[in-house]
Homo-oligomer: A and B are copies of this chain.
Amino acid sequence: MLDRMVYLDNAASTRLDEKVLDAMKPYYFDIYAVATSEFGYSMGIDAKEALEGARQTIASSIGASAEEIVFTSGETESSNMAIKGVVAALLGKKDKHIIVSKIEDFPVLNTAKAFEKAGYKVDFISVDSEGILDLEEFKKAINENTALVSIQHANQEIGTLQDLGTIARLCKEKGVLLHTDATHSYTRVPIDVSKIPVDLVTMSAHTIHGPRGVGALYIRKGTPINKWMDGGFQESNRRAGLENIPGAVGFAKAVELVTPEENESLSTLRDHIIQKAEEEISHVTLNGSRTRRVPHNANITFHYVEGESMTLHLDMRGFAVSTGSACFSRSLEASHVILGIGGDHERAHGSLRFTLGRYNTMEDADTIIDAIKEIVEQLRAISPLYENK
């Protein structure tokens, strides 16, 4: 039994870094004015400078200009704003046609479904057994009049990285705009918009030890996009709402704290979890790609056992992991991602997702697999599925 909980689920990356809160505090207690420009007073100008500094940090992290970054309340808002804003701006200029992958996270997937319900043609492109987009199917679907393509950078459950460069070039050739939800890769795997012609990028602070309720959307200069929400003229009149300056500053600090060394060490942890699970436990399947994978994700199916049972047993032993996505954890539906890569319901329900963060150690990786080994053995011993395998 451990003397503390070990988080290897979403919580591993949603825990705020103390340095992030330290960076935010001055904007809660000292420079707490509304951001103003030339007509304001000094604290308003200081607040504005902090906001613009944070914007520059986010911009630089992906090779963008500051004016191409809009702050939002997170992943969901960024992706809704990107897709709905562009599609509305292109109404009458392009066909009512959108392309997404089958394994998008819910903000993109369910926005696409909402457009489908509203009469749009939506192509949900297949992925292969590792979660990689079927480029041939994609090429057949896209045409000059497609309004928008939205293909994620990394998958939220299995961590598979798409070949964004190739997808972006295919879009560019057809003159079609591309949005990517980079929530689950941001700062862990580089995106350089000065090299890859992607037009919109969703980012969020909550996956990198930043504050919750804060995200950003990259909008390439010149991209047609409607304003998100009506109200004030904030964010260069692209997104109304009082600026969350402490949140923006915290987000920027979270970005600065991610280092290549940390990402390297996360991928070492990840590989250790995968290797140890495969070596020490029978009937396991790695979900996703062995190589094209974000450094902080492992997703493994332990066959003949239920993910829900495993998470409960692990919880009692002091480990937190998830089965399926955060949203799926609220229901017993099978993950659309595992089904999307050709898995069946049994594989989906027996899957555990490990999300790694700054506070995880090699000891965590070792002890959780030891615990899983024991739990899997116990559960299989009473499983009719295992007996009859």
Contacts and interface: CB of A to CB of B under 8 A. Distances in A.
A213 B42 contact: no
A385 interface: no
A232 B76 CA distance: 8
Contacts of A242: 74-76, 206, 212, 326
A357 to B, nearest CB: 10
Contact of A229 (B29, B77, B243): B77
Interface in A203-231: 206, 211-214, 229-231
Interface string A234-260: 000000111111110000000000000
Interface string A170-182: 0000000000000
Interface in A310-355: 311-312, 314-315, 320, 326-327, 329-332
Given A10-B33, A41-B315, A232-B327, A110 B240 contact: yes
B213 A73 contact: yes
Interface residues of A, number: 68
Nearest to A323: B39
Instruction: State the oligomeric state as a number of copies.
Output: 2
Contact of A329 (B36, B107, B213): B36
B246 A212 contact: yes
A229 B80 contact: yes
Contacts of A330: 36-37, 39-40, 233
Contacts of A25: 21
A79 B241 CA distance: 11
Contacts of A327: 232-233
Contacts of A76: 229-232, 240-242
A14 B43 CA distance: 13
A124 interface: no
A304 interface: no
B33 A9 contact: yes
Contacts of A77: 73, 229, 241
